[in-house]
Structure 1
Amino acid sequence: MKILGEDERRTAEQALRSYLPKSSKVYGALFGMNRNKPSTLEVVVDTWPDFKSIILRPDLKNERVSDYTKTVTLFCTDAQVLKRMIAEENAIDWTTYFMIGGFDITLAPMLKEVAASRGVNVRGFTLVHLLTLSDPHDLPDYRDSAENRISSLNESHVDMVNKTWKFGGDEKGYKFITHLISNFPTCCMLDETGQPVSWMLLYDYCALGILYTKPEHRGKGYAKALIASMSKKLHDEGYPVYCFIEEDNDASLRLFKNMGFTEDPSYRVAWFEFNY
């Protein structure tokens, strides 16, 4: 097992491109790290340079690591290699609460088996669709007729976003939203007074998310305008353009598919909690 340095992380990012979209979450996280976005993660692989398993885990040497939910992200081309890393080589700290986020659901039985062998309880947190968009420039122009109403969020908007985010509302959520708005692209629709009424952020693994429109402003096409604007911006800057949609969020699934996002219908990803 090897912890990757800066140059090796760049090489790993390129290697993961050939496994897109299934490698999207690890690839997106590395994409951000390799462009100097602040991160509290370290990257480990089974072997180098020809790795079969890659894990992004909290870097316990980072003083900011306790500010965020402890989340592990992983991708593998060989489940037995991954199992060896997490079961025998201590690639994951099994002694405290953590999540494994955005993993291939077919790995769930193996993860549950290893957790059981460690005496660790585990439960499913959410099951999601992985959707990607290959060329955002094919999107219709959904922008509002007053183009200057599309803008970016700033730190004065953190509390508003945190309070409306399904997984926010607390101090960790506030710190996480601050991190995203300060370091990653955002997009919002302003009302006549210059206040955001609809917005979209980018997670630190470079997935579109946290899309929200205030109830009194729904039905005006703002979400479509923001998705189109953000997708084109990301594509032009070299970012992957993808998102995760929760299994029961039919409205969002229809919205993104109607805008040209596609998925492999046989593939699902999941978030699991351990030591909850």
Structure 2
Amino acid sequence: MIRMTRSLSRSELRKLVRSLVLDWDGLAFHSKAMLYCSAQHYLDGKIPWDMIFEVDRWPDYTAVLWTCKDAASAPSFARNEVFFHWTSEDGLRQLLKSKSINWTSLLKLVAFPLIGLTTLKEHLDLQGVPLPDRHAAVCDTAYYLHNTCPHVQNVNTTDNKVTIAPLTPEHGQLVSKTWKFGGTSEVEERVHYSISTFPSACVYDQDGNPVSWILFNYYGSQGLGYTLPEHRGKGYFQLASKHMISICLQKGYLPFLFIEDKNELSRTIHRKLGYSWTEAGRCAYIHLNC
């Protein structure tokens, strides 16, 4: 018997969210955390474009894919983004065959777990779509696997010349310009959306200028962390990060982020902050048909 995939209704999606338990005492797969945040934000109206959440079967699903349902309704940065979470390789194989994905179009697989790379390549080979190494940014998933962090009100510094507060949309161009993949209208659109919709943490100097910051993506990871060069070495990024960790814990989110393989500075900073990573969290941002 051929089992068909199923697109979830909103009520079914609520049931799926309630079925997801993020484990604070052990390693929670980043794809589960991403699914939880994406689905909850969609149900809360914080993702204003149409999305599809598809499962291999229901209600005892073993794999989920989610993506933009209608490109016309989505901002440019989200139109080609595709996500997968699975606990069964057979479930993954089934969803890779979903009619919801046009594998010959421009696609970005967001933080695709490397444990599924062989299965993905087998499927792409059948579609005649190459898996180019140069378009895959390999990362470790860094998790803050603790129940506590200094409360937001207690995250402070002996430097009384700085303050910690959220970013505002007027800072979007600066954030975009300082990101190595930024400086485009698409990135500026993404940054403006993130700042306007989700938590962020920024250290401001005595004149109210942002000097170090970190943002929150709609799928739950922290990102675009940066400190202006002239303000590095002062502990400002640690302040911003502790503030963000505290906010995530208050909201019931598992604080996590992605660190590219060659970014040793980021590894050092986040290890000091209490983050850790294992082989299970290895993933890649995979661009297809570019």
* TM-score where L is the length of structure 1: 0.92
Whether contact under 8 Å (2:149, 2:246) holds in the other structure is no
- Residues 37-56 of structure 1 aligned to structure 2 (within 5 Å): 37-40=46-49, 41-56=51-66
- Residues 1-276 of structure 1 aligned to structure 2 (within 5 Å): 1-17=5-21, 21-22=28-29, 23-40=32-49, 41-60=51-70, 63-68=73-78, 70-87=80-97, 89-124=98-133, 125-135=136-146, 137-138=148-149, 143-145=156-158, 146=160, 149-276=163-290
For structure 1, the residue ranges without an aligned partner over 5 or more in a row are none
For structure 2, the residue ranges without an aligned partner over 5 or more in a row are none
Instruction: Quote the Cα distance in structure 2 between the aligned partners of 1:113 and 1:62.
Output: 31
Task: Give the Å deviation of 1:128.
Answer: 0.8
Return structure 1 stretches of 4+ with deviation > 6 angstroms. Answer: none
Q: How many percent of aligned residue pairs carry the same amino acid? A: 26
How has the CA–CA distance of structure 1 residues 241 and 2 changed in structure 2, closer, same or farther, with 3 Å as cutoff?
Answer: same
How has the CA–CA distance of structure 1 residues 71 and 179 changed in structure 2, closer, same or farther, with 3 Å as cutoff?
Answer: same
* TM-score where L is the length of structure 2: 0.87
Which residue identity is paired with 1:86? L
Which residue identity is paired with 1:57? T
Whether contact under 8 Å (2:161, 2:205) holds in the other structure is no
Which residue identity is paired with 1:126? A
The root-mean-square deviation of aligned C-alpha atoms, in Å, is 2.1
How has the CA–CA distance of structure 1 residues 18 and 181 changed in structure 2, closer, same or farther, with 3 Å as cutoff?
Answer: closer
Task: Give the Å deviation of 1:46.
Answer: 1.2
Whether contact under 8 Å (2:104, 2:127) holds in the other structure is no
How has the CA–CA distance of structure 1 residues 130 and 149 changed in structure 2, closer, same or farther, with 3 Å as cutoff?
Answer: same
How has the CA–CA distance of structure 1 residues 197 and 61 changed in structure 2, closer, same or farther, with 3 Å as cutoff?
Answer: closer
Task: Give the Å deviation of 1:142.
Answer: 5.7
Greater alpha carbon shift after TM alignment, 25-34 vs 50-59: 25-34
Task: Give the Å deviation of 1:65.
Answer: 4.5
Which residue identity is paired with 1:187? A
How has the CA–CA distance of structure 1 residues 221 and 64 changed in structure 2, closer, same or farther, with 3 Å as cutoff?
Answer: same
Cα deviations by residue, 1:220-245 (Å, 9 ceiling, x for unpaired): 00011011111011111222211111
Whether contact under 8 Å (1:100, 1:271) holds in the other structure is yes
Instruction: Quote the Cα distance in structure 2 between the aligned partners of 1:149 and 1:137.
Output: 22
